[in-house]
Amino acid sequence: MAKVSFQEDLCKGCGLCVYACPKKILVLDKERLNSKGYHPASCTDLSQCVGCAFCATQCPDSVITVER
């Protein structure tokens, strides 16, 4: 099973990863703010992640890590 993780304090909530995910399991967490005041990206269902790393490729700040 693949694992996706985010450096949430560095995420600026641009949403590019959300649109890139083919499984549509990434969201911007509207209930939390990081230290910079942005809504960080998070994964809603890690068991559905296929490890494609499209999200990490699209992230302009390289805050996403995908492990297979």
pLDDT for the residue 68: 86
3-state SS of 16-65 is HHHHHCCCCCEEECCCCCCCCCCCCEEECCHHHCCCCCHHHHHCCCCCEE
Residues β-bridged to residue 41 = 28
Model's pTM, two decimal places? Answer: 0.90
- Counting Cα atoms < 13 Å in the Cβ hemisphere of 61 gives 15
pLDDT for the residue 8: 95
Domains along the chain? 3-67 (3.30.70.20)
Residue 1 DSSP symbol = -
pLDDT per position in the chain (68 positions), as tens? 899 999 999 999 999 999 999 999 999 999 999 999 999 999 999 999 999 999 999 999 999 999 98
Q: Is 16 helix (H, G, I), strand (E, B) or coil?
A: helix
pLDDT for the residue 49: 96
